[in-house]
Structure 1
Amino acid sequence: MAKPQRLALFDLDHTLIPFDSGREWLQFLADRYAVPEDAPRRYLDACRRYVAGRVGLEALHRAVVCPPGAQAQALFSTWRRDFEAEMARRVPRSTLALVQRHRDAGDLCAIVTATSRLVAEPFARVFGVAQLLATEPHRAGDGSLSGDIQGEPCHREHKVAHVRRWLAAQGLALQDFERSWFYSDAAGDLPLLEAVTDPVAVRPDDKLRAVARERDWQVLGIADVAF
């Protein structure tokens, strides 16, 4: 089988979707009384502390995967199916079309996100992207979520390592592709943006916008990706 000649990588939160998937997952659970009513607010507080540099990604991951009690674990599969159906109605048609254009062109596609796999998988299915590189939740011996992260988070410079390992498992490397794209909104993703031939800033934060302008990278704004 011929190797793909082009690669398209996509960040998830605030890139393919115009919201924070972890917060939406917790709100979904709170609406079903599966987590405390204030779980989404406490998660957003953790996000603010993370942005301020007071906590690491581990705190956000723990806030997302830990709230449901042990008695709720049996309902996870049903909840995730319902969550996927609800989120499918909120995914922008513009980003669905963007991903579909790459798929139709025969490009190798993957979502590369710091979000926990627990939350990101439903979105990957909505976008029809089989390859998902995400932060892996650690499970205890009984299969329950411990709140810890398994291995390196799929975050910042670790995103590049995740991508390289995934490609190497297929006998591929980033330099094998004639063209490679990574779409992201955040300056934290600069290591992977710098590793591809075609970095694309999607509604970027201020730091990424400045870098994109300086380096003449493509920038997609609200008019281009109409959320």
Structure 2
Amino acid sequence: MRNIALFDLDHTLIPIDSDYEWGQFLTRIGAVDAEVFARRNADFFAQYQAGTIDPVEYLEFALGTLAQFPREQLDQWHAKFMQEVIQPALLPSALDLIEKHQDQGDLIVIITATNRFVTEPIATAFGVEHLIAAEPERDVDGKITGKLLGVPTSGAGKVHHLQAWLAGQGKQLSDFPVSYFYSDSQNDIPLLSIVTHPVATNPNALLSAHAQTQGWPTLHLFNEQ
């Protein structure tokens, strides 16, 4: 059986936080109240960096913003967001890392705490078919309601969602001879701890310290540009 390579997204494959930048983008184009939204977005980002964020509260803040607009409008804005913000952040070192695992024939999955609306086009830009992300609840017409479907895909929630996704494929993590997980954050220690090859990638200070005590390798993708 082939191996599996799991990737966090924000600050791991891209040197930015896509969720935060999406909020900043909405502010710049005047889609949301600049002062109120920017303040709340910055507060949540600081909580995330400190490891104190309530993921449900944040996701329903972000999804509640999406729920205010028709999907056609959101898609138009997201195309502009991809062009202006995301494409410049798709750096050769990250693209090469994905390509290396593709060439090895590994099963590649991006698993992120950010919602699917924001991240699915980014996964596509990396050439990654499989994405596990926070799922927005939708009504009978397919419109985003502003609520989160299921548990967040963060912390131990990543383990839960990965196991559920693999079960849907008739597999479990132990079926893979080698399992990689690349992440930048201490929030991902639960999943990093159960793969055979955890890689602290562009790690923040807390993950860097933990990786040193565990003997995990460290990869600095963006210092090589």
Structures share a fold, TM > 0.5?
yes
TM-score (norm 2): 0.90
Counterpart for residue 81 of structure 1: 79
In structure 2, distance between residues paired with 1:134 and 1:147: 15
Of 129-138 and 25-34, the range deviating more from structure 2 = 25-34
Displacement after TM superposition at 1:178 (Å): 1.2
1:147 aligns to 2:146 (yes or no): yes
Letter in 2 for 1:132: L
Q: Residues 1-36 of structure 1: CA distance to partner in whole angstroms, max 9, x if unpaired?
A: xxx420000001111111111111122222222122
Q: Which runs of 4+ in 1 moved over 4 A?
A: 50-55
Higher helix share: 2
Displacement after TM superposition at 1:114 (Å): 0.5
Counterpart for residue 90 of structure 2: 91
The verdict on how the C-alpha distance between 1:169 and 1:146 changes in structure 2, with shifts beyond 3 A counting, is same
The verdict on how the C-alpha distance between 1:92 and 1:218 changes in structure 2, with shifts beyond 3 A counting, is same
In structure 2, distance between residues paired with 1:69 and 1:113: 21
In structure 1, stretches of 5+ residues that fail to align are: none
Displacement after TM superposition at 1:55 (Å): 4.9
Instruction: Tell me, yes or no, if the aligned pair for 2:59 and 2:115 is still in contact at 8 Å.
Output: yes
Instruction: Tell me, yes or no, if the aligned pair for 1:11 and 1:112 is still in contact at 8 Å.
Output: yes
Letter in 1 for 2:218: V
Instruction: Tell me, yes or no, if the aligned pair for 1:23 and 1:40 is still in contact at 8 Å.
Output: no
In structure 2, stretches of 5+ residues that fail to align are: none
Counterpart for residue 24 of structure 1: 21
In structure 1, distance between residues paired with 2:11 and 2:91: 11
Which structure 2 residues correspond to residues 211-226 of structure 1 after superposition, within 5 A? Answer: 211-221=210-220, 226=224
Which structure 2 residues correspond to residues 1-227 of structure 1 after superposition, within 5 A? Answer: 4-38=1-35, 39-50=37-48, 55-68=53-66, 70-86=68-84, 87-221=86-220, 226=224
Q: Secondary structure at the match of 1:19?
A: coil
The verdict on how the C-alpha distance between 1:180 and 1:68 changes in structure 2, with shifts beyond 3 A counting, is closer
Q: Secondary structure at the match of 1:136?
A: strand
In structure 2, distance between residues paired with 1:68 and 1:176: 38
Letter in 2 for 1:21: S
Q: Residues 155-214 of structure 1: CA distance to partner in whole angstroms, max 9, x if unpaired?
A: 111111111111111111111111110000111111110111000001212221122111
In structure 2, distance between residues paired with 1:144 and 1:65: 11
Aligned residues: 223
Q: Secondary structure at the match of 1:34?
A: coil
Instruction: Tell me, yes or no, if the aligned pair for 1:34 and 1:72 is still in contact at 8 Å.
Output: no
TM-score (norm 1): 0.89
Q: Percent identity?
A: 40
The verdict on how the C-alpha distance between 1:40 and 1:103 changes in structure 2, with shifts beyond 3 A counting, is farther
Displacement after TM superposition at 1:45 (Å): 1.1
In structure 2, distance between residues paired with 1:54 and 1:106: 37
Q: Residues 111-134 of structure 1: CA distance to partner in whole angstroms, max 9, x if unpaired?
A: 000001111112101111010000
Of 66-75 and 23-32, the range deviating more from structure 2 = 66-75
Letter in 1 for 2:169: Q
The verdict on how the C-alpha distance between 1:50 and 1:199 changes in structure 2, with shifts beyond 3 A counting, is closer
Instruction: Tell me, yes or no, if the aligned pair for 1:43 and 1:63 is still in contact at 8 Å.
Output: no
Q: Secondary structure at the match of 1:66?
A: helix
